[in-house]
Structure 1
């Protein structure tokens, strides 16, 4: 058992679990990284810590500056959590239609909240609003753009990808993950393909909002992915992606419920999307071992269709 001397020591090092029940009857295996076990409850703890430390090293955060975070939820919670520990004032810019659990968690962590119109597909409005606030108040805020920040990629290249290799080796056929910022998919892809170029990488988008793969926009209910525009991270690293898998909101919700009822893991809707994609790869492409991510826990979704 590891000993943690601070919140920061709790970030990363998450278990990976074989989802044997939901994949029962298939010839291959689906393995899932339990990112909901990070201290703020999601995979985003990794990138928040890396992005803050990178900005500190480069002298971008001046004394007294507030951290301004455009987000659809989990990244904001991660920044609020780590910011509270490090002594930063955190201001969150978030679409007004995100789940109430996210908003209440942000408030509990002491974050100030600014709202923008829309839901998950409208993340660009939050980013643009944050940039405008920063420009209108020079020196008061530092804006963290998670959709372009290379530290986002580095977090998963240096930690998540390495952990997967250490835990289950290189005998992996494919890795798949939903794309919000693209950081998880690309960071892990860089590491996996570096050590085994034969591993295939598949991004996951909501079928209602396949902006990256098909250039189409629409509303959906898979909080955490499908932000409604193509992130700069994806533009920079699209050569690492072997294909795209589209999952509907209803399929993601159904699969998340199956994971809860069959595996005993109450995970969020984006976890359902990821596992849906992984199961499809095993079933349709006869792959032997597919790895994916369980980004967050289901307790952030009590007000959504996941439990209604």
Structure 2
């Protein structure tokens, strides 16, 4: 991906429907991208391709690399209070901009169904292709695990469940902010999975389980996978050189997803013929400063640290903090949307109920793909002829 994160596609999915239906004019309007980092980078990149002005909104506590990248691409960068789990402060800034009188369009990934649709129509089939290429006659595809964040990526599970009806969709979050697991809140260090609320576009009724990952595990594995002592330890444990050379493809949220998949496999007692799929959202390219901070706070990463982290957080991954969802648990999580989206963001309670009660709500969104594609083709032809 040109931005180093797959959120550039989600931003495209939110932008293009507005563009081809005349709801966004890149020549006169600014595009606003609320995010905890990767989505606003993708939005700023897409805006730059259109020649549109962009405004990126993200918490001030995000990694230095995010701000350095945005300073070169985005027209304006607005820092909001807090860090990864302070999404409400981002929403508050969006309302402030709406009331400012500026001519702008806010592409809120947490409620834009274009985000859901992109991952259903693009990420889902890409995952199906990967699953089939990794499968043989003995393989059973078990399910998808994905940190929720904006609940875009997890929409790919809706596609996969239609292809593989027995498969599961598992949502992951930070243990330090267990909103789905136990209506919890708190700050955490897993950058890229903004939370403390349930996104409007999360099809909760189709979600089968929730898993929470300790952010200490993610930070420890970031050092294990990238520090020389960590690489040497893993090599001694028999990890292939080809794998070692690619461990830097796992950013913080990618590490969290992989650890969630391990926990899931332990909980359901999966074997070598069971296949679980997840996604590596971004790479360590955005977290070099975090490793520097860990050096300063905890000193040099030694072989003993690597052995301990590998044993505790990878080999010793337990089955705690995983909840299989029944009707009541799903409904509890879905109901949390009310407090963010109806009370604070002025969404309709009728639509909230429709998301739960009307089975055609989500399928009607999925069926918009061909219509939007036709509009894109017509738009491109019109632009080319101008």
TM-score, normalization by structure 2? 0.66
* CA positional deviation for 1:91: 0.5
Match for residue 174 of structure 1? 143
Match for residue 317 of structure 2? none
Match for residue 176 of structure 2? 208
Bigger share in helix = 2
Q: Which has the larger radius of gyration?
A: 2
* CA positional deviation for 1:258: 4.4
1:86 paired to 2:53:
no
Match for residue 43 of structure 1? 6
1:286 paired to 2:286:
no
Match for residue 247 of structure 1? 213
- Whether the 8 Å contact between 2:29 and 2:105 is mirrored in structure 1 is yes
Runs of 4+ in 1 over 6 A off after TM superposition: none
| Separation (CA, whole Å) in 2 of partners of 1:57 and 1:80 | 18
Q: Which runs of 5 or more structure 1 residues have no equivalent in the other structure?
A: 1-37
Q: How does 1:208-247 map to 2 (within 5 A)?
A: 208-234=176-202, 237-247=203-213
Say if 1:95 and 1:163 are closer, same or farther in 2 by CA, change over 3 A: same
Q: How does 1:3-18 map to 2 (within 5 A)?
A: none
| Separation (CA, whole Å) in 1 of partners of 2:185 and 2:75 | 30
Q: How does 1:265-304 map to 2 (within 5 A)?
A: 265-266=247-248, 267-287=250-270, 288-304=274-290
Q: Which runs of 5 or more structure 2 residues have no equivalent in the other structure?
A: 235-242, 296-386
* CA positional deviation for 1:60: 1.4
- Whether the 8 Å contact between 2:160 and 2:167 is mirrored in structure 1 is yes
Among candidates 152, 158, 162, match of residue 183 of structure 1 = 152
* CA positional deviation for 1:131: 2.3
Among candidates 121, 133, 136, match of residue 158 of structure 1 = 121
SS at match of 1:79: helix
Report the more deviating stretch, 190-199 or 255-264: 255-264
- Structure of higher RCO (CA pairs closer than 8 Å, 6+ residues apart): 1
SS at match of 2:2: coil
- Whether the 8 Å contact between 2:86 and 2:194 is mirrored in structure 1 is no
* CA positional deviation for 1:259: 4.7
What is the number of equivalent residue pairs in this alignment?
Answer: 267
TM-score, normalization by structure 1? 0.82
Say if 1:110 and 1:147 are closer, same or farther in 2 by CA, change over 3 A: closer
* CA positional deviation for 1:213: 2.7
